[in-house]
Structure 1
Amino acid sequence: MADTMTSSSLEQLSAAMADAVAAASRSVVAVHAARSRASGFVWRDGLVVTSEESLPDEGDLAVLLPDGGKLRANIVGRDPATDVALLRVEGQAPSPIAFDAAPVRTGSIALAVGSQAGTALAAAGVVSLVGPAWRSLRGGDIDMRIELGLVMRRSVEGGLALDASGRAIGMSVFGPRGRVLVIPGTTVDRVAAQLAATGHVPRGYLGVALQPVKVLPDGIGAMVMGVDRDGPGAAADVRQGDVILAWNGEPVRSVHMLLRALGPASVGTVVKLSLRRAGEPVELPITIGERPAD
């Protein structure tokens, strides 16, 4: 009797997971470029979200649909800081997905759903970590840190992450050291809406090239290696050879620290830079600008 009950429970769990994948895969697509294969999902009518990191810098893109159809796609905008890219497809795309804001629990079952040439792919595991909001190494604000304990094919990156009930919680991507991370639905919605409206997400800009240097006796600074003559640094009288020691009174721990501080909210704010210039201390206010389009 016990064996029968266990078998029945496993069959029910298996069927529920398969049903969740089947339902989500109706909105999941494959994103193909000349040298890359990734997944994506329909975010709004005619608009597909995918992993920014998986997209090439140039070249034609195609979106392969669950029904075997193929549509051309153009990049509306991309945000490397949050790993979100938005595509517009030429033709009728499947129905959009809706994210669920229900809490995500550590230890619960998790699914990653992608597409390979229009055929659904899935990986199963658990939510291995749930943490607070964080900022990526490129300065992107991510609303929650979610890590998945599962093995995911490279082509599934950019697809949907599902919770135990089959609700879409975000986009599954690869993080540092091959960890599978989830860009939460709230982050995807916020960034994709900005990309749809303007084609980009504003980022702060100092207009200086920086290199880490050791500062005696045991500190770290950021040496200014170059200054954009039309940038905020030049307007604030930052000079080549200056060493930035502190940012609004907080000691510099790395160049990445400064880059992470240049998020969307930083544009237009005034920051006090504590410098060392030719051995002498200097303090300069600098108004952070908006990074120009490359």
Structure 2
Amino acid sequence: MLRKPLLLAARSATCRKIVERTPLTRGLVHRFVAGSTLDEALPAVANLAQDRHITLDFLGEDTTDLAQATATVTAYQDLLAALGEAGLGDRAEVSVKLSAVGQFLNADGEKIALDNARRIAEAAAAIGTTVTLDMEDHTTTDSTLGILRELREDFPFVGAVLQAYLHRTEADCRDLSGAGSRVRLCKGAYDEPSSVAFRDKAEVDKAYVRALRVLMEGDGYPMVASHDPRMVAIAGELAAANGRTAEDYEYQMLYGIRDAEQVRLAAEGKRMRVYVPYGDEWYGYYMRRLAERPANMLFLARSLVTRN
């Protein structure tokens, strides 16, 4: 019941101002966001890297200013250089939203985003790590996959996210199930119309399993992004049925969510990667996390009651 209002609020400038001005909010945000700056985020990354892998997201999206897109690229270059200096190139990669590096900038947005993504991929290659292109709402899917194809000509290690709730995703998984392809499969976090996406939870779950089966049966590298215990278990069963070892796929979960399960999977020898966001532009990300999991909203309400 709260999902739709929260997703609408995620794109509301008015709601953003109200939330960001609430003193308590920033304290709660740290449950899901590793810090406002790279210096604040790196200790969390180093701690996680003891038993887990990491993908870092410098928060930002829907950039409509070229200078901001350029600044985001610089932030990723600095991040990757810092990971290299810390010896974390084999444990940490980066996730990039193309909208944050210019995808929506006038008629040349796709070219700008491609050029900027190349610069980030070059920095990743320099320290021996990878890049994953985050997926946003369905209107960006074709553009993002087109940019992915061009990037992979020079940087075959670049992967992408596919969202199981979209009707098209099973077919997209088939297209991206070849050798060398890296696909992070998630359920989807945007408020999409029924014309393009499944909206019933049971249908989304079924779509996730169908897409996951395609990836596990393929020759690529599936990245299972789910906190759902059933999906985690099914992923393990599909991996075993297709002769995959622990090095042939991985699990992914969000920073601050199901930490004990993350530790358990890592202790069992599974490759467990944590999605770690940082930066000042945390509002949209935070609101989508609240919308995804009712428990997150209950956590916020409980904290408000306790504080007051």
Per the normalisation by structure 1, the TM-score is 0.23
With CA pairs under 8 Å and 6+ residues apart, which has the higher RCO, 1 or 2? 2
Which of the pair has more CA radius of gyration? 1
Q: Which of the two has greater helix per residue?
A: 2
